[in-house]
Amino acid sequence: MPNDMADQKGQIPTNLRLLLLLEEVARAGVPVTPAGLVEALGLPKPTVHRLFNTAEEEGFLQRDIDGRSYGPGPRLRRLSVNTLSSQRLRTLRLSILTEVVEQMDETCNISVPDREHMVYLERIETKWPLRIQLPVGTRVPLHCTASGKMYLSSLNPRYLDRYLATHKLEQHTSKTITDVAALKAELSKTRKRGYSTDDEEFMYGMVAVAVAIVDDQGRLVSTLSAHSPLQRNNLVKITENIGTLKSAAEKLSDLLLT
79 binds, among DNA, its own copies, none (CB under 5 to 8 A by kind): its own copies
Shortest spacing between CB 160 and DNA, in angstroms: 12
Phi, psi of 117 (to 5 degrees): -140, 170
Which of its own copies, DNA, none does residue 76 bind (CB under 5 to 8 Å by kind)?
its own copies
Pairing of strands 61-63, 70-72: antiparallel
Closest CA to 54 of 14, 100, 99: 14
- Residue 88's binding partner, choosing from DNA, its own copies, none, with beta-carbon cut-off 5 to 8 A by kind? its own copies
Residue 34 contacts DNA per CB under 7 A: yes
Using CB under 8 A as the binding rule, whether residue 35 contacts its own copies is answered as no
Show the binding pattern over residues 63-102: x = contacts its own copies (CB under 8 A), - = does not. Answer: xxxxx---xx-xxxxxxxxxxxxxxxxxxxxxxx-xx---
By the rule CB under 7 A, 47 interacts with DNA: yes
Residue 234 interacting entry, from its own copies, DNA, none, C-beta within 5 to 8 Å by type: none
The residue (of 18 and 38) whose beta carbon lies closer to its own copies is 18
Please choose which of DNA, its own copies, none residue 77 contacts, taking the beta carbon within 5 to 8 angstroms, the exact cut-off set by kind.
its own copies
Please name every residue paired with 224 in a beta bridge, in sequence order, or none if there are none: 110, 211
- Please tell me whether residue 68 binds DNA under the rule CB under 7 A: yes
Hey, which residues between 154 and 213 contact its own copies (CB under 8 A)?
155-156, 158-159, 162-163, 166-167, 213
* Residues shown for the chain: 258
Interface with DNA (CB under 7 A), residue from 6, 20, 25, 43: 43
Q: Does 117 bind its own copies (CB under 8 A)?
A: no
Do residues 202 and 177 touch, judged by C-beta distance below 8 A? no
Print burial letters for 125-156: b (CB count within 10 Å at least 16), e (below 16).
Answer: ebeeeeeeebeeeeebbbbbbbbbbbbbbbbe
H helices of the chain, in order, are: 14-28, 34-41, 45-57, 74-84, 87-104, 146-154, 157-166, 180-193, 235-239, 242-257
Distance CA 175, CA 139 (A): 20
The partner in contact with residue 172, picked from DNA, its own copies, none with C-beta cut-offs of 5 to 8 angstroms by kind, is none
Contact between 35 and DNA by CB under 7 A: the answer reads: yes
